[in-house]
Amino acid sequence: MAKMELQTRIQNYCTETGYPNGLYVGGDGRMLGIWVMGNSYQVQSGYYGGYPHGYLKRVKALFPDKENVLHIFSGKVDLGALPGDTVDIDESLEPTYCDDVQDLSTVPVGNYDLILADPPYSVEDAEHYKPTMVKRNKVMRALGQKAKKGTHVVWLDQVLPMYRKDQWDMVGIIGMVKSTNHRFRVITIFEKT
Ligand SMILES: C[S@@+](CC[C@H](N)C(=O)[O-])C[C@H]1O[C@@H](n2cnc3c(N)ncnc32)[C@H](O)[C@@H]1O
């Protein structure tokens, strides 16, 4: 399949969501921009740290060409909004793969062309879940060893994860504003080289 240009992704995002466009392709060839998530700041599942309302719809509209989606750190992700397989370390959440995303030893990562990641952002956040804080570089390394060329990772965080420049291109950076008294976050989009 021909590679979809970033500008085409942005056009599809505007058409599909109807949201005002806050994205552009910068002089460095990356997708840059900001998403203001609007008034509906409730997390539908009620799960601590769940994706804000509308987030998955936006990501889906940016990647209409993707066929196999993997949600890592999946929690109670809304699969109705963006269907796919799931990976979480907490078996009570009944993920497709109950695994540590720092290893992904049981996950056929190479089968997926879009991977969404939503790690705990801090040690305090991690206390709401089963395990201790993750090492982001280990997750990127595990993904980098197994993901196929052209796969995109959409990583929502307060930190830019350390990644290997010979495995990943950073092709997009989108700031995310939720509402008053919520932390700012950044979506980093990586493409496997
Ligand atoms: C911020 S929440 C994700 C919430 C999700 N985006 C949603 O909409 O429900 C982080 C999730 O990562 C999981 N997690 C934390 N450390 C993990 C690890 N090492 N491997 C796999 N999952 C992990 C936690 O159990 C938790 O469900």
Model confidence pLDDT, tens digit, residues 40-91: 656 777 888 889 989 999 999 999 999 999 999 999 999 999 999 999 999 9
Amino acid at 183: R
How far are the Cα atoms of 27, 80, 119, 149, 154 from residue 57, in angstroms, in the given order?
27, 10, 19, 24, 13
Task: Give the distance (Å) from ligand 1 centre to CA of residue 126.
Answer: 9
Query: 103-120 pLDDT, tens per residue?
Result: 999 999 999 999 999 999
Task: Give the distance (Å) from ligand 1 centre to CA of residue 72.
Answer: 7
Complete domains list, the chain, with CATH: 6-192 (3.40.50.150)
Task: Give the distance (Å) from ligand 1 centre to CA of residue 10.
Answer: 28
- Of 43, 44, 55, 73, best ligand 1 pocket probe by most atoms within 8 Å of the beta carbon: 73
- In the three-class reduction of DSSP (H, G, I as helix; E, B as strand; rest coil), residue 146 is classed as helix
Residue whose tokens read 């990583």: 155
- The whole-model pTM stands at 0.96
Which run of H or of E encompasses 168?
strand 168-177
Instruction: Say if ligand 1 is within 6 A of residue 185 CB.
Output: no
Listed in sequence order, the residues at least 6 apart from 47 whose beta carbon sits closer than 8 Å to its beta carbon are 75, 76
Specify whether the CB–CB gap between 111 and 67 falls below 8 A: no
